[in-house]
Amino acid sequence: MGKEMKGKVVAITGGGSGIGKAMALEYAAAGADLAICGRTGEKLRLSAEQIKALGVRTYWQTVNVANIKEINSFAQNIIKNLGSLDVWVNNAGIDTPGLVGWQSVTEELWDEMMAIDLKAVFFGCQAAAKEMSHKGGVIINISSFASQIPTAGRAVYSCAKAAVNNLTKTLAGEMAPYGIRVLSIIPGYIKTEMTSEGIKTRYEELVSAIAAGRLGEAEDLTKTAVFLSGEGASYITGVNIEISGGKFSVQNPLWSWQQKEKYLRSN
């Protein structure tokens, strides 16, 4: 990859680990300066060191993304420390600890998940747009495949992520006059620290639903995010882009792999 993001400043919430960290390193490799935030200072510090090693500037701040004052402070401090803001990625999010049926959803669980998975996305967009309104920019919201096909036992999460998709389209329309593009990325099943346990116990089941015949890698998302942030995607806005290897594109993706084996044996 070249330095197509050189001179740009990219902010990523939840940038201390997982997909957020992988995205930060991808943007840095493309030449961007990075601002990352999250709840755990030590994780952010270690991520910032890896980003700096790629020869770019970085700024990090501990932030509770559900706190509007803190998210606004992060956006303002990016300008103070890095001079501008060109791309904002709403990546931070939480899920329930395992499957939680409707009978067990508490008001506290609902409020916490909606605060981080939806409220924080809206006010993150708002904070970013305030800093971008005079020169334009790009906002990318990280959604979930649960927004497409909800998961039983994850009703609150599925609901919040579906709302993120709708919010993305709405804000794309509202922010277009300011030169701000708004998109969402809908990941399929991606290999991360968070998904490692599920992969160990359900690998065959998970892959059986994916047309590509494999689970996603972090770079499947990160390289797409960098492209969407650049000039080559300047006419792309208001869309929810699924990166899932064709998950559930058909009901029986394994059939095609079986047919391939038969075809190759006979030719």
Catalytic residue check, 157: yes
Q: What is the C-alpha to C-alpha distance for residues 120 and 83, in angstroms, rounded to an integer?
A: 23
Nearest alpha-carbon partner for 91 in 161, 175, 40: 161
What is the rounded distance in angstroms from the CA atom of residue 35 to the CA atom of residue 78?
A: 7
Q: Can you tell me the distance from the alpha carbon of 26 to that of 225, in angstroms, rounded to the nearest whole number?
A: 9
One of 27, 157, 178, 189 is an active-site residue; which one?
157
Give every strand in the sheet of 240-243, ordered side by side.
58-62, 33-38, 9-13, 87-90, 137-142, 180-187, 240-243
- Burial string for 21-42 (b: 16+ CB within 10 Å, else e) reads bbbbbbbbbbbbbbbbbbeeee
Q: What would the two tokens of residue 41 be?
A: 């200072």
Q: Which residues are catalytic?
A: 157
